[in-house]
Structure 1
Amino acid sequence: MPDFKKENYKWDENLTEDELDHFLSKYHGHPLQSAKWGNSKKLSTGIKDHRWAALKNGLPVFIARFEERSIFKFFKVAWCPKGPLVIDKVNESTLHEEFLQRLKKKGFIICATNPWEKIELVSQSRSVFYTVWVDLTLQKEKLWENLHKKCRSDIKRAKKLGVVIEKSESLDDLRSFYKICESISKSKGFNLGSSLQLMMNLISNLHQEHVESSLFVARYEGNLCGGAFIMRCGKSIHYLWGGVNREFSHLCIGEALQWEIIEWGLSKNCTKYDLEGISAKQNGGVDKFKKKFGGSVIAYPAVQIYPLKIGRKIILFMMKIYLILQPKISRYKKIFIR
């Protein structure tokens, strides 16, 4: 274990909203770790969160926003979506252990994390997720060149047919967009992982320096026919939800939306666009769509579970029993969904 003296740093277990989002913006964190996300989630679901950081000489070396979940209503679980963020990599193991010990003292029995960080070497034994990152440090001409040939043609075609892409702050547009997303999730049988209230909370207070949410919509002949909901944290942007009304799918709306977001990211001097997830096989329809945009496939850690008070086998047994008693939950990941 690295030699790391505790007296050289201190823990702040009550970061302000501005402090947390400023740190995440500066040190390349994920928006799901932000106070903006946590506040929006609390308003829509009542889920309580905590904002901690280890500081050295007044600067953060470890940052974690975690949500207080529960199993059987009284076993406390700390869920850290897309976190924690570790700035001091040399002392990462020590900081992580201290974090877990502090959670244990607070009465938590499990900590679940999935850090938003690139894994350089993926071993067969390691559980990982995959996503696509588009490098926005490239010139616009190079980004256009990197698009798949058909993708470039589809974007041109959408424009020629009269599809208009614009950023919207209208709640009516947001409601229409949510209905599209909800319809797609029901027809394809997947969990949307959001509610209209959550989106409305996120889109409020639009103009924030460190973390912001934006809705891009596509219109055709006066109809809102699709959209994409993104968040920006510092210099990275993240694609959270998107959908196209099937009646207008022939208009190449999805491709046009994504290119507009890329152009917007460039105007904001962003350096990275995370398309937020593809499957392990990387050959599904959504996977192929996201890989059209010339980004790199990136691996990052899957959900990591740390038992804090009792053994791992007992924890897993408890979770299995919990799922059996909760028929609406088909996978353990839904306990921790976003």
Structure 2
Amino acid sequence: MDGVVTLPDELSVLTAAIATPLRPDESLDEGVLFELTTRYLERGIEGLYCCGSSGEGVLLSTEERKRVVATVARAVGGRVPVVAHIGGGATRDAIELGRHAAEAGVTAVSMIPPTYYRFGQDAVVEHYAAVMRAVELPMIVYNIPQFTGTEFTPESIRPLLENDQVVGVKHTAHNMFSLQQMAARFPGKAFINGFDEVFVASLAAGARGTIGTTVGLQYELFAAARRRFDSGDVDGARQVQGRINDIIRELVDIDVFPAAKYVSGRDAAGLGSLGSCRRPFVPLSQAARARLDRLDERLTEYLRLTAHEERSARV
């Protein structure tokens, strides 16, 4: 399709699924979002993903989602890829969000299949096709069956991956066999891990990057795990994955999205709070915040230890 560029290598990077800062009245705080984006770039984060699960995309209005994408794209200024998640419900809404994302200057769009109703494969494929006919941006299919009820298999996703405008898949599923089969059948596409806890396993299965809730918190650990895996130090990569997973286990035990958002605010030196997640998420208790304060100290130690190991390996 004219105007569409295939970008699998550019998108196969360590991408933070950015949280959406909210004020106490749940209104969008674009100033904090701009600053959070800037601080991520200063740390070396290689890409930003807006309005996905971590960004509470389906809890935001269409206009709020547009403002998030515009703010992040403006803060990035073309320095790293920006992917806008535009999925949710009606096809017309996805088209509206996609056209706005193109105007904002994002690199690509991403989309979950339509939810709630049990749409058949033909309807799902046509939903993506209709959006791509209207929006001339590369498309990343978002496979997250535990949230959508639709699982893309190597066979069911084939009609989408045969479309040149579909440049990759965000595979937020634990099925590494399915990931390996898709990557083997479509080696020219970008297969991107979506579950932080299986990052190293996904690299072995054929993933070429990751988009995750905790990448913004643990970017240096993900980068170290990737470097060790790529150099053939699989045991070293697994060791770093264990540190990543120790943090994730605690976040999940508390409530992963509110917990990660809280730590993201603490982690962005001096930024303060990103606010609570929008209702119906329950605000974190004082006890949960205390646990997360202690977890942030553990994360700081993991970052220090891993950085020391990386420096020693280069000597």
TM-score using structure 1 length = 0.26
Structure whose residues are more often helix by fraction: 2
TM-score using structure 2 length = 0.28
Structure whose residues are more often strand by fraction: 1
Between the two structures, name the one with larger relative contact order (CA 8 Å, sep ≥ 6).
Answer: 1
Structure of higher CA gyration radius = 1
